[in-house]
Each structure stands twice: as structure tokens, then as C-alpha cells.
Structure 1
Amino acid sequence: MILFSNEHLTVFQSALFQINSAVLAFDDFVLVVDPACLPHEIREIQSHVASIRGNKDLYVLFTHGDFDHIIGFNAFPDAKTIGSWEMLHHPKKEHKLKLIREFDATYYLTRDYEIEFPRLDLVIEKDAEQLTIGTTTLTFYKAPGHTADSLYTVIDSLGVFLTGDYLSDFELPFIYHSAVDYEQTIRKAQQILDNHPVQILIPGHGQTTDSRTDMTGRIATAFDYLDRLKQAVLSDDEATIRQLEGEFQFYSPMTVECHQENVNIIRREYRQGLD
């Protein structure tokens, strides 16, 4: 379904995981971000792109290589693709494809394109790297923590900040890569708000927001969870660790597992030298 729409931006949200797929229309190109997730939802995105594209070039940006964000690769076969250097060199590409195949098999889903890990045409190698397409400049920031290959993307001309799997309105941090990097990446989000004319923030999951108060509140929520969990892990406060586990919305075996992985990573990174 369409979650948000204005003259230049349409955000589609999947019924699964509240995954957001953004379509941005510029004078000389169209940009699709993380096309997802169910086959009929991707067909809706394809139809919208076809209706606005005309003769414009098409680009697809992947915020990171998690299976739910790359599942739409090959849905736009003539598009130029954008992603991070870390995604290009992702060490578990076949594992991500296995997750997609298992997902589709479990729910009897069929797709009219081949499942592959994205091949990248334009690779973002440096922090704050800029890419100019036509008259539009995109600024990319490395955003490790959730994953090693995550990117923030800022488009000043539209006031858009694409955050990938950070700063959701309902998801607490899922740290799959590094807690230390995650904290730095959240700090970087505040720096982006301070230094760019951000008008709308689009997370990988959940609600978009055009409220600066909400944006800074999401940053504060992430920091609060990380700080309380770090202090609980360092002091072996199991009661607080369990309390924090229960603060995840949509409490489920998946969120329990993710929280435990957060604990494991924090214990590994912050307790080194203390034990």
C-alpha cells in the first residue's frame, strides 16, 4: 500500500515487516529504494514506476543486503544499481539468497524474475561520498552497526533522509554487526539533521515522519535503549536485560533472538578488558 505520497516521492509499505520501498521522481531519472516484498506489492511498485518514468533513466538503491531489502532485485532489470562497497563484498551472499528461497517456499510465493544477490553498478566506497545524477546530488554516509554494509542516503533537493534499518518509529535497535558502530551511526544521524535540510525521514520499517521533534525523539530512543542495555550487560543486571527484551513491540521469538544477539555483541565489545 502507499504509505506517503507527494509530488516527488511515493513510499510503499509492505504488509510484511512494515518494510518501506521509496520511489523518487526527478526531472531526469527515477530512483527506487529497496523494492519489497510480496510479489503483488513489487508489481504495484513496478506499475507506479512505469506510470511516471517515461524515457527517464532508472536507478535502484539498496540500503543494505538483508534479504527483505534485496528481494526485489531483478524486478527492474534495466536499472542501474547503487550500494555500498561492503555490500559488493558481502561475505554471506548465498545465505541471504537461501533466506529468500526459504521465505518464498514457506509461503508458496512465485516471482516473475530470478532471485539473485544484487549486482552493483555504482559502488559507494567512502563516507559522505556524493553521486550526481543529472542535476541531483545524492550524499551517502556509511552506517555500520545494524549491518556492516548499511548506508544512509540524503537528498538535499527534496529534503529526504533515507535511513535503512535505523530510526524506525517502533523497532528498537537490531545490532547484527557492532554495538560500537551502531552508536556512532546514530550520532551520525543527528549530525545529518544538523547539517542537511531534512524534511522527511524514511526508515526501512515503520512510519515516515516530517516532524523534527519525532526525528530527534527516535534518535533519543535508540540511544536510551543502547545505553540501558550496555549498563545492564556491564553490571550483569539480568532483571533489566529481561525488562528491555519486553520493550520490543511485536514481541516474538524473533525479537527475543535479536535482543539476545544485542546482548552478546555488547558483552563481546564492551566487556573486553574487564573480564
Structure 2
Amino acid sequence: MKIFQKDGLTVFQSALWKTTSSVIETNDLILVVDPTWLPLEVQEIQEYVAHIRNGKDLYLLFTHGDFDHIIGYHAFPDAKVIGSKGMQEHPRKQYKLDLIQSFDNEYYVERPYAIEFPTIDIVIEQDGQQLLVGDTTITFYLSPGHTHDGLFTIIEPIGIWITGDYLSDFELPYLFDSAKAYLATLQKSYMILDSHPVKVLVPGHGQMTEDEDEMKRRIVLAQDYLERLIDAVTREDEEAILGLEKEMSFPSNFTKGCHEENVAIIKKEYC
């Protein structure tokens, strides 16, 4: 479902996990970000891209290699694919594909395109790496912590910041990589706001924002949650740990598992 459209940015949101897919149109290119989830939702994105493309080069950006973000890869077979070095060398590609197949099998989902792990054409290896296409500048920053292969992406001159699974309006940090790296990525977020004229932030799940104060609030929210969880875990305060689990939105077996993974990673890194 299309939920936002302004100044070359169109954001679609899936019914599942409030997952966002973005289409950015500039004078030079079309950039599609993380097309997902259900076949009709991906088809809506395909049809919109076909409508606006007008012969422009098509790029497909993956913010990271989680299965919900790569599921629509082959819906855009002629796109040039952008991803991090960590994603290109992902050690669990088949596991991610198995998660997609398991989801589709469980819900009898049939897709008109093949399911494969993305092959990366433009590999991002370092902070500040840029892709220049005409007057469009796309700047990338590595964003480990949630996963090891995350990317922040800034599209200028429009001023769009694509954050992947960071800085959601409702989703607290999920650690599948490292708490220390996650906190460092949050610090990098302040640098991005200081270095780029960001006009809109689009997270991987939830609502975008055009308010810089709200962007900073989300950084502080994530920092505060992680710092309190690290403190509770290192003090072995089980009551506080349980209380922090209850702060997660949409409590479920999934969020319970994510919380347990958060605790396990913090124990490994800090204890």
C-alpha cells in the first residue's frame, strides 16, 4: 500500500511487520529499495516503477540481507543491484532463502519470479562511498549492529535517508549482530544528520519522518533502550530485563525471541 509520496520519494508499506519499500525517482535514475512482501504488494511496486521509468536506468538497493528485505529481488531482473560487502559475502545465504520458502509454503504463497539471494553488482565496502549518476549523488555508510551487513543510504539532492532496520518510530533495537556495533551505528547517525541535508528519514519498518527533532528522538530512544538493557544484563537484574522485554511493541513469540537474542549477545559482549 502506498503511504507517502513527495518530491520524488514514494513509500509503500506491507501489511506484514509494517515493512517499507521505497521508490526514488530523480532526473537520472529510478532506485527501488527492499521490494517486499506479498506478491500483490510487490506487483504494485513493479507497476508503479514501470509507469514512471521512461527509459531511466533502474537500481535496486538492499539495506541488508534479512529475508523480508530481499524477498522481491527477482521482481526487477534488469536492475543494477547495490549492497554491502557483508551482504555479498553473507555466510548464511541459504538460510535466508529457506526462511522465504518456509513462509511461502506455510501460507500457500506462489510468486511469479524466482527466489534467490541477491547478486550484488555495486558493492559498498566503506563509509562515504558514493555512486554518482548525473546530478544524483548516493552516499553510503556501513551500519552494523542489527545485522553485520547493514547500509545507511543518503540520496541527494533530494535529502532522503534510508536507514534499513534502524530508527523506526515503534520498533526497538533487535540485535542479530552486536550491541557495541549497534551503539556505534547510532553515533554515526548523528554524524549523518550533521553532514547531510536530510529532509526525510525512511526506516525499514514503520513511518517515515520529515522532522529532524523526531529523527534525533529515535536515535535517543534506541540508545536509551540499549544502555538500560546492557546495564540490567551486566547487573543480572532479571526483573529489569523482563520489564525491558515488555517495552517492545506488538508482543509475540517473535519479539520474545528477539529480546532473548538481545540478552544473549549483550552477555557475550559485556559479561
Q: Which moved more, 1:124-133 or 1:11-20?
A: 124-133
Separation (CA, whole Å) in 2 of partners of 1:94 and 1:30 = 29
2:75 matches 1:81:
no
8 Å CA contact 2:7–2:158 kept in 1: the answer is no
Deviates more, 1:191-200 or 1:36-45: 191-200
- Partner amino acid for 1:259? H
**Segments ≥4 residues shifted beyond 2 Å:** none
Distance 2:101 2:91 in 1: 18
Stretches of structure 2 that go unaligned for 5 or more consecutive residues are: none
Distance in 2 separating the partners of 1:263 and 1:207: 27
Structure 2 counterpart of 1:105, one-letter code: N
Match of 1:36 in 2: 36
Rounded to whole Å, the distance in 2 between the matches of 1:77 and 1:256 is 37
CA shift digits 1:55-114 (9 cap, x unpaired): 111000000000000000010001010000000000000000000000011111111100
TM-score by length of 2: 0.99
Q: Is the 8 A contact 2:248 2:255 kept in 1?
A: yes
Percent same amino acid at aligned positions? 56
Could you say which residue in structure 1 is the equivalent of 2:260? 260
The offset of 1:17, in angstroms, is: 0.6
Q: CA deviation at 1:195?
A: 1.3
In 2, Cα distance between equivalents of 1:212 and 1:120:
32
Give the Å deviation of 1:156.
2.7
Question: Is 1:128–2:125 an aligned residue pair?
Answer: no
Task: Tell me, in whole angstroms, the C-alpha distance in 2 between the residues paired with 1:246 and 1:133.
Answer: 46
State the match for 2:224 in structure 1.
224
Pairing 1:62–2:62 present:
yes
Equivalent residue, structure 1, for 2:107:
107
Question: Cα RMSD (Å) of the superposition?
Answer: 0.6
Give 5+ residue unaligned stretches, structure 1: none
Number of aligned pairs?
271
- Deviation of residue 54 (structure 1)? 1.1
User: For residues 167-207 of structure 1, what are the alpha-carbon distances to aligned partners after superposition, in whole Å with 9 as ceiling and x for unaligned?
Assistant: 00000000000000000001111111111100100000000
Counterpart residue type for residue 248 of structure 1: M
**Aligned partners of 1:268 and 1:146: how far apart in 2?**
15
- AA partner of residue 159 (structure 2): G
3-state SS of 2:194 partner: helix
Letter in 2 for 1:77: P
Greater CA deviation, 175-184 or 154-163?
154-163
Q: How does 1:91-240 map to 2 (within 5 A)?
A: 91-240=91-240
What TM-score results when the alignment is normalised by the length of structure 1?
Answer: 0.98
CA distance in 2 between counterparts of 1:56 and 1:155 reads: 17
